Amino acid sequence: MQRTATFLWHLVPTATLAIALTLVSPGDSRARDGVTTSEAASEVMPARRIVISLTERRLHLLEEGHPPRSFPVAIGRPGVAIPLEDSRVLRKRRNPTWHPTANQRRENPALPASVPPGPSNPLGKFALDLGWTAIAIHGTNDPDSVGRRASGGCFRLLPADIATLFEMVPVGTPVRVVSGPAIVPAPQPAIAVAVPAALPTLTPPPSPLPTVAPPPLPILPDPRCATAGAPLRRMICTMPDLAALDGRARGLHQRHLAALPAERRDAAAYALLQEERRFDDRITARCWVRRGMEEDPAVAAAAEACLRDALNVRLEEAKRR
């Protein structure tokens, strides 16, 4: 009996220690050590994933039950190794500080040890750190580089696109980098619904109302055309079909503003101005033409086709406003 009591007495501290250890979670330890992330790992949504295509130079955000979204990206410049494998979003940072790698500082000794948030920070305002060393998805202070092989290994997005992606992607989202085109699921076809046949009626059908043609879309020219200097903007201003697409979108925007109450008009006008700047950023990245090369027939044809697609999308968005 005495030996049994002694044995139980020795078990008490051990059990107490085990219970105490189970009450200390890994997250509590990290918090005490000062290691934090901007989003909790419990936000992981396996149905959402990112696929980056090096051939397309685009980042695709795929989510079950939602149409895919796509953004142009800058990828590693020639000679920079780019991992072709799977990873995850490990951390999200707002207003990140940039720390050049040792290799970058050897190549350019003038680089500082770190660059704080601000207009000179090459990471922009948002960064998604991945599982590879010194590789992230982030913004940029050089929008003209997006869509090209221009980075030190990271994936750069336009400022408006990284802001959208940052809000949509939780920590833990899977990321895959592929060399060829990304396999993006096709939109689901609409489901046909059977409609029962109408019962016969003895009364004559009413006379059809005369159809009224919709009013023509207003065309509002771009006031910047007189001083346009960028090659893509000059192409839009000087090619009649492109100018008509651009002018119709502008006319619809003005019609939308005119229909709003006066107290909402200023805010809506500012939002449209910001939207136009984002549109200019997108066509600069997607339909890029080096200054002086717009006279090359092949370059001009490719840029014209790219601009026509972008302007058609913009016009459809203006119609749905």
* Top-confidence range, 19-33, 85-99, 288-302: 85-99
Is a pLDDT exceeding 50 seen at residue 258? yes
Asked, for residue 126, whether it belongs to a domain, the answer is yes
* Top-confidence range, 102-116, 158-172, 293-307: 158-172
Asked, for residue 216, whether it belongs to a domain, the answer is no
Asked, for residue 197, whether it belongs to a domain, the answer is no
Q: Over range 259-287, report the average pLDDT.
A: 84
Q: Over range 239-252, report the average pLDDT.
A: 88
Segment 110-167, tens digit of pLDDT = 889 999 999 999 999 999 999 998 899 999 999 989 999 989 899 999 999 999 999 9
Is a pLDDT exceeding 70 seen at residue 37? no
Is a pLDDT exceeding 90 seen at residue 1? no
**What was the pLDDT predicted at 217?**
63
Q: Name the catalytic one among 60, 154, 253, 287.
A: 154
Confidence of residue 15 (pLDDT cuts 50, 70, 90): very low
- Looking at the structure, tell me whether residues 46 and 133 fall in a common domain: yes
Q: Over range 38-57, report the average pLDDT.
A: 70
Asked, for residue 26, whether it belongs to a domain, the answer is no
Q: Give the domain-ending residue among 160, 178, 196.
A: 178
Structure tokens at 155: 């994936």
Asked, for residue 242, whether it belongs to a domain, the answer is yes
Distance of CA 236 to the CA centre of its chain: 25
- Looking at the structure, tell me whether residues 229 and 166 fall in a common domain: no
What gap in Å lies between CA 92 and CA 39, rounded to an integer?
7
Q: Over range 293-314, report the average pLDDT.
A: 84
Tokens 């998805």 sit at which residue? 137
**What was the pLDDT predicted at 18?**
38
- Looking at the structure, tell me whether residues 47 and 153 fall in a common domain: yes
- Looking at the structure, tell me whether residues 158 and 56 fall in a common domain: yes
- Looking at the structure, tell me whether residues 247 and 171 fall in a common domain: no
**What was the pLDDT predicted at 191?**
57
Asked, for residue 284, whether it belongs to a domain, the answer is yes
**What was the pLDDT predicted at 92?**
96
Ranking 41-45, 94-98, 262-266 by mean pLDDT, the lowest is: 41-45
Asked, for residue 213, whether it belongs to a domain, the answer is no
- Looking at the structure, tell me whether residues 53 and 172 fall in a common domain: yes
Pair 170, 39: CB distance under 8 Å? yes
| CATH code for the domain in which residue 98 is found | 2.40.440.10
Is a pLDDT exceeding 80 seen at residue 253? yes
Split into its structural domains, the chain has a count of: 2
3-class secondary structure for the chain? Answer: CHHHHHHHHHHHHHHHHHHHHHCCCHHHHHHHHCCCCCCCHHHCCCCEEEEEECCCCEEEEEECCEEEEEEEEEEECCCCCCCCCEEEEEEEEECCCECCCHHHHHHCCCCCCCECCCCCCCCCCEEEEECCCCCEEECCCCHHHCCCEEECCCEEECHHHHHHHHHHCCCCCEEEEECCCCCCCCCCCCCCCCCCCCCCCCCCCCCCCCCCCCCCCCCCCCHHHHHCCCHHHHHHHHCHHHHHHHHHHHHHHHHHHHCCCHHHHHHHHHHHHHHHHHHHHHHHHHCCCCCCCCCCHHHHHHHHHHHHHHHHHHHHHHHHC
Q: Exposed (0-12), middle (13-18) or buried (19+): which is 321, by Cβ within 10 Å?
A: exposed
Confidence of residue 229 (pLDDT cuts 50, 70, 90): confident
Q: Give the domain-ending residue among 122, 146, 178.
A: 178
Which residues span the domain enclosing 95? 42-178
**What was the pLDDT predicted at 200?**
60
Please give the mean pLDDT across all residues of the chain: 78
Confidence of residue 27 (pLDDT cuts 50, 70, 90): very low
Q: Give the domain-ending residue among 147, 178, 209.
A: 178
Q: Name the catalytic one among 66, 99, 138, 287.
A: 138
Ranking 17-31, 71-85, 112-126, 174-188 by mean pLDDT, the lowest is: 17-31
Q: Over range 278-286, report the average pLDDT.
A: 83
Q: Is 138 a catalytic residue?
A: yes
Asked, for residue 235, whether it belongs to a domain, the answer is yes
- Looking at the structure, tell me whether residues 232 and 141 fall in a common domain: no
- Looking at the structure, tell me whether residues 238 and 165 fall in a common domain: no
Q: Is 60 a catalytic residue?
A: no
**What was the pLDDT predicted at 282?**
84
